[in-house]
C-alpha cells in the first residue's frame, strides 16, 4: 500500500470517529505523519495479568469492529504482529500504528455484485509456520465474501494464543495465566478454537465467546482493584 492509500485509509476511517488507527496529521512526499500513540504492544508482553487481559479484550474488540460495523466495510489486517499495535500512555487504548497492510472490502458492493459463494461464510485456514507473525489469507476470498473470520484468526493466532511467536517468545499475550484460570481451561479452549478450530464455523463462535470471557475477566479485575 503506498502513502496515498495509507492517507486515504486514515482519512476515511478517522480516529476521531472511533476507528482504532493513529490520528492522521498530514502527508509530504512519501511521508505520512500520524500522532504518537504510545509504546508498542510488545512492551506489555510481561505486564501484569490484569493489564494483558484488558489489552487482549481490546484486540478482540478491534477485530470485531473492523469485521462488522455500521458502515458495511470490512477492514482486514494482513500484517499482524506486536510491533503493529501501540498502547496509549494515558487511556491505555490499543491503536493500530501500521496501516500499510489493511485490505478494505465493501460489503454492500459484494452483496450487489453477488460473486460466486458471496453469501457463504469464509473460514480462514490455519497453517503451521516456522516464522514469526505468519498469516495465511486469500485476497480473492476476502474481497468476495460477506462474512469472513480473518481478523479473529489473525489476532488469536499472532497475538493471543499459544501459537503466537515473537522475538523468540511463545505463548502470546495471554501466556502464563493465573492458576485458577489455567485450571478452568476455558480460556485455553477458546483460544485454541479461535486459532485452529475443530468445529465447522467454530472460529466465529469462539471469537464471540472469547470477547465475552475477556470482558468478564476485565470487569472482575476492575471491581477488585476498586475495592
Q: What is the pLDDT of residues 104-117, one digit of tens each?
A: 999 999 999 999 99
The answer to whether 156 touches 162, Cβ cutoff 8 Å, is: no
Quote the pLDDT of residue 1.
47
DSSP string, 22-72: PPEEEEETTEEEE----EEGGGGTTS-HHHHHHHHHHHHHHHHHHHS-TT-
Q: 110 Cβ partners below 8 Å, 6+ apart?
A: 118, 143, 144, 145, 146
Instruction: Name the residue among 142, 147, 185, 177 with its Cα closest to residue 160.
Output: 177
Q: 103 Cβ partners below 8 Å, 6+ apart?
A: 75, 76, 78, 139, 142, 143
Quote the pLDDT of residue 105.
97
Is this structure's pTM higher than 0.75?
Answer: yes
pLDDT in tens, 24-52: 766 544 444 455 679 999 999 999 999 99
Amino acid at each position: 500500500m503506498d502513502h496515498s492509500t495509507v492517507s486515504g485509509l486514515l482519512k476515511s476511517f478517522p480516529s476521531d470517529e472511533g476507528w482504532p488507527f493513529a490520528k492522521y496529521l498530514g502527508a509530504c512526499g512519501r511521508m505520512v505523519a500520524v500522532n504518537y500513540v504510545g509504546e508498542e504492544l510488545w512492551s506489555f508482553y510481561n505486564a501484569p495479568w490484569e493489564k494483558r487481559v484488558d489489552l487482549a479484550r481490546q484486540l478482540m474488540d478491534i477485530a470485531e469492529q473492523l469485521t462488522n460495523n455500521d458502515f458495511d466495510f470490512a477492514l482486514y489486517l494482513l500484517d499482524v504482529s506486536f510491533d503493529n499495535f501501540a498502547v496509549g500512555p494515558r487511556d491505555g487504548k490499543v491503536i493500530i500504528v501500521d496501516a500499510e497492510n489493511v485490505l478494505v472490502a465493501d460489503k454492500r458492493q459484494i452483496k450487489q455484485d453477488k460473486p460466486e459463494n458471496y453469501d457463504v461464510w469464509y473460514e480462514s485456514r490455519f497453517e503451521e509456520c516456522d516464522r514469526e507473525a505468519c498469516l495465511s489469507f486469500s485476497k480473492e476470498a476476502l474481497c468476495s465474501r460477506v462474512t469472513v473470520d480473518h481478523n479473529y484468526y489473525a489476532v488469536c493466532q499472532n497475538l493471543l494464543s499459544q501459537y503466537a511467536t515473537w522475538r523468540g517468545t511463545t505463548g502470546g499475550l495471554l501466556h502464563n495465566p493465573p492458576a485458577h484460570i489455567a485450571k478452568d481451561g476455558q480460556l485455553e479452549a477458546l483460544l485454541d478454537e479461535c486459532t485452529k478450530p475443530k468445529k465447522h464455523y467454530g472460529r466465529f463462535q469462539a471469537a464471540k465467546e472469547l470477547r465475552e470471557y475477556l470482558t468478564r475477566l476485565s470487569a472482575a479485575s476492575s471491581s477488585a482493584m476498586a475495592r
